[in-house]
Amino acid sequence: MAGGKSEQYSLFFIRRFKGKVLFNVPMKDYTSFKIGGPADVMAFPKDEGDLKDLVTFAEAKHFQYYILSAGTNILVRDAGMRGIVINMTEGFKDITWTEESKAVVGAGVRLAELCVECRERGLSGVEFSANIPGTVGGAVLMNAGAYGSEMKEVVDGVEFMDAKGRKGFLSNKEIGFKYRSTAIPKGAIITRAHMSFVKSTPDSVGARMNDFREKRKATSKITHPNAGSIFKNPAGKFAGVLIDEAGLKGEQIGKAKISEIHGNYIVNLGGAKAKDVLQLMALVRDNVYGTTGVTLEPEIKVVGED
């Protein structure tokens, strides 16, 4: 990080910021893939005041910023990330129940935590996410889902902050939910999600959670670091099946390997580089297209510099 920028970062954080700040942070320590070069700065805002100060500082200084949740579903390139990584996992953890089956949920709340709370209250709707690692903010942004259910079904709207520190609200329709994506404007940071659930019973919700856990048994056997599903499922097909049929399970480049358990997972055997994963992804796309004519689209986000 250049000396001038380093000094500007330090002065800002010493004077104004309440949350934790780290410099020259290895991104491999903050992603489920355990891959990625250093980030110039990683800041953990405690509240909306911290977040506003961060984004307005970055905007004024023309510094890049990237929002990080639990670090799943992401591949950071080997040269790391310039600017500020805003890590939302240590703030925005509030759950406020506005009605018996409605809540305003902080972006930093873990999906597993929300599932447990809903089970205890006998509320159904998010059981599918019981074994999905990540936070509510990240799950909403990518419209996370499993087994035919998605976040769009339980989200009424989101509170957000834009790059100028202004707060706003997007309704379910305005969010523009699609398969594993949304139309949330670039630079908008989800701070809270307004969610609605269906009244049920703790036993029924718990049983559904257990059913989904049983269905995920195959991928739960994958013990090496990974980022979950690498590619989106094409319409009417499963990416993992297409990769398996192309004979690609077990293919390896460097320390990255296509899982022999599930074809749509790439695992880090230890010390894998982002370039290894990207080469495997290209190999998969080329081979699946060559054998089926189907073009696979990445589900993971690739960020940072080579």
DSSP letter for 270, please: S
306/295 Cα distance (integer angstroms): 24
The pTM score is 0.91
The reply to whether 15 belongs to the active site is no
The reply to whether 260 belongs to the active site is no
Within 178-253, where are the H helices? 202-215, 217-220, 239-245
- Going along the chain from its start, the domains and CATH numbers come out as 3-87 (3.30.43.10), 95-215 (3.30.465.10), 221-303 (3.90.78.10)
Strand partners, 267: 226, 257
CA angle 15/19/21 to nearest 5° reads 80
pLDDT of residue 8: 63
Q: Are 43 and 86 in contact (CB under 8 A)?
A: yes
Catalytic residue among 180, 192, 251, 259: 180
Of 36, 53, 50, the residue nearest 108 (C-alpha): 50
Q: Are 197 and 154 in contact (CB under 8 A)?
A: yes
Amino acid in position 255? K
69/45 Cα distance (integer angstroms): 12
Q: What are the average pLDDT values for consecutive 10-residue runs of the chain, which has 306 residues?
A: 58 73 95 97 94 90 92 96 94 96 97 96 96 93 93 98 95 97 94 98 96 81 94 95 97 98 97 98 98 96 95
Catalytic residue among 150, 159, 251, 299: 299
Strand partners, 196: 102
The reply to whether 216 belongs to the active site is no
